[in-house]
């Protein structure tokens, strides 16, 4: 698997050690396990040693001739960023709706009049596998340039078998072909298709009796997500959809309390969801229930920003004990971005989180939100060598100096794939 890599002398190496078993909560979200003058030894795609440069030089000094040395002097080294909530596989864009919203139309009005999710569904339906693959592959390149090494990807721009299948197959192929790991979620319950408008329960039956069992049987998704929202799926319909997924081995996730308070956070706790996402309008009762059950709150302040809504109360959730993660929600309607570092900045400025907390939220807690806490999200011996190096000398500056892509180097599965901010052309970006 190529030669070993020796990342040397980071001004700050954020390890997040000791966080693999469960997501971090409360004060522990600030315990980054920073090593100054830190170094990492990587072999066969795996992290083999972590410590000060002095300690690692003592251990490996004799092998310097056989390794690729990555000089991290004056730089910040963190676990590769993890994005636990994206709608990665879609066709087209919706800047026309952005323009309409700037003139007063609301997101739900646009959706209810046949645009929004329905517009992207039409585009995605008519796109070929190849077109969808190409557009999404380019998005993954952009994610990588921003320091992201794993993304979750939802279906949901089909809401019928053929197109849902196409999205999940494309996600699978992306996972195989691109260096970024793509973790698939089935989200057939993304909107009520027009033809079921008068009888949404019939669509719920279709999801429960046909689509969920087929997706599970083909092994095309790990999670099952639902848009629980006024005018979309009710809490009762959402519960049935999530329970059906669980019976077929799909872990529950939920778009909860995004536009209106709807007891989505409470439902997430009740069904034992791994995460509840959005939570702009979550109740205190719901937050407490999530904290008690250890449901990760995946917060998406980019969506609030783009929809010109008030962000979720991240500060309060952390203080209550909810394990908080951050994500782009990358999608063409409510958050067309791949910049997780910008989302982290919004976490600070719009949700009262500290620079330390947002790093935890975009690494180890994000990994736990997609059931990957034992493999990625921290820099510890035995974990996958997914590491991002930023061109700032301390972790506070990553948020302080905002709107700039500070990503310098990315190591993915033990290979350097971004250097000096550029994707390495000599790599085909393929996994093998």
- Interface with ligand NIG (CB under 6 A): 87, 116-117, 120, 227, 255, 258, 303, 329, 331-334
Our CB check for ligand NIG shows the closer of 78 and 334 to be 334
The stretch near Fe ion (CB under 5 A) out of 112-120, 185-193, 279-287, 324-332 is 324-332
CB within 8 Å of 106: residues ≥ 6 apart: none
Cβ burial, residue 67 (10 Å; 0-12/13-18/19+): middle
Residue 225 interacting with Fe ion (CB under 5 A): no
Q: Which residue is nearest to ligand NIG (CB)?
A: 333
CA quadruple 278, 280, 283, 289: dihedral, nearest 10: 20
CB of 102 to ligand NIG, least distance (A): 16
Residue 329 interacting with Fe ion (CB under 5 A): yes
DSSP characters over 96-139: HHHHHHHTT--HHHHHHTT-THHHHHHHHHHS-HHHHHHHHHHH
Separation CA 432–CA 429 (nearest Å): 9
CB of 98 to ligand NIG, least distance (A): 11
Our CB check for Fe ion shows the closer of 164 and 329 to be 329
Our CB check for ligand NIG shows the closer of 123 and 383 to be 123
CB of 12 to Fe ion, least distance (A): 32
272-311 footprint of Fe ion as x/- string (CB under 5 A): ----------------------------------------
Location of structure tokens 């909560």:
25
CB of 320 to ligand NIG, least distance (A): 23
CA quadruple 228, 229, 231, 236: dihedral sign: positive
Which of the choices Fe ion, ligand NIG, none does residue 53 contact, using the CB cut-off of 5 to 8 A by kind?
none
Q: Which residue is nearest to Fe ion (CB)?
A: 329
Separation CA 69–CA 129 (nearest Å): 40
Q: Are 100 and 308 in contact (CB under 8 A)?
A: no
Q: 384 pairs with which residues across the strands?
A: 46
Our CB check for ligand NIG shows the closer of 185 and 331 to be 331
Backbone angles phi, psi at 339, to 5 degrees: -90, 90
Q: 227 pairs with which residues across the strands?
A: 255
Question: How many residues does the structure list for the chain?
Answer: 432
Residue 332 corresponds to which tokens in the numbers above? 């063409």
Residue 258 interacting with Fe ion (CB under 5 A): no
Our CB check for ligand NIG shows the closer of 72 and 171 to be 171
The stretch near Fe ion (CB under 5 A) out of 159-167, 307-315, 325-333, 399-407 is 325-333
CB of 110 to ligand NIG, least distance (A): 9
CB of 155 to ligand NIG, least distance (A): 12
The residues of the shown chain that bind Fe ion, judged by CB under 5 A, are 329
């Amino acid at each position: 698997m190529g030669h070993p890599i020796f990342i040397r002398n980071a001004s700050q190496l954020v390890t997040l050690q000791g966080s693999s078993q469960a997501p971090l909560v409360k004060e522990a979200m600030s315990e980054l396990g920073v090593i100054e003058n830190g170094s990492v030894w990587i072999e066969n795609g795996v992290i083999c040693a972590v410590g000060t440069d002095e300690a690692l030089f003592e251990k490996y000094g004799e092998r310097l001739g056989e390794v690729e040395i990555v000089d991290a002097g004056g730089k910040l080294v963190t676990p590769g960023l993890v994005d636990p909530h994206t709608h990665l596989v879609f066709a087209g864009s919706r800047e026309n709706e952005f323009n309409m919203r700037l003139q007063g139309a609301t997101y739900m009005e646009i959706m209810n009049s046949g645009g929004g999710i329905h517009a992207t569904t039409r585009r995605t339906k008519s796109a070929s596998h190849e077109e969808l693959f190409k557009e999404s592959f380019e998005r993954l390149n952009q994610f990588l340039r921003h320091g992201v090494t794993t993304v979750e990807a939802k279906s949901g721009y089909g809401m019928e078998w053929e197109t849902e299948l196409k999205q999940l197959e494309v996600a699978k192929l992306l996972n195989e072909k691109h260096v970024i790991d793509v973790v698939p979620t089935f989200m057939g319950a993304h909107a009520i298709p027009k033809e079921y408008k008068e009888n949404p329960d019939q669509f719920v039956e279709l999801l429960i009796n046909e689509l969920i069992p087929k997706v599970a049987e083909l092994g095309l998704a790990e999670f099952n997500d639902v848009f629980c929202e006024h005018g979309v799926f009710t809490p009762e319909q959402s519960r049935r959809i999530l329970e059906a997924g669980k019976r077929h081995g799909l872990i529950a996730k939920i778009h909860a309390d995004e536009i209106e308070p709807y007891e989505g956070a409470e439902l997430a706790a009740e069904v034992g969801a791994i995460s509840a996402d959005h939570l702009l309008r979550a109740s205190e009762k719901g937050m407490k229930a999530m904290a008690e059950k250890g449901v990760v709150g995946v917060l998406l302040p980019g969506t609030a920003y783009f929809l010109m809504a008030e962000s979720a109360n991240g500060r309060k959730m952390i203080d209550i004990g909810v394990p908080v993660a951050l994500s782009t929600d990358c999608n063409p309607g409510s958050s067309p971005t791949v910049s997780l570092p910008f989302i982290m900045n919004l976490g600070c400025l719009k949700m009262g989180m500290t620079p330390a907390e947002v790093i935890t939220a975009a690494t180890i807690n994000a990994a736990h939100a997609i059931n990957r806490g034992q493999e990625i999200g921290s820099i510890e011996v035995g974990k996958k060598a997914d590491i991002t190096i930023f061109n700032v000398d301390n972790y506070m500056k990553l948020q302080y100096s905002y709107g700039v892509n500070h990503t310098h180097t990315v190591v993915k599965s033990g290979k350097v794939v971004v250097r000096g901010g550029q994707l390495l052309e000599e790599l085909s970006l393929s996994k093998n």
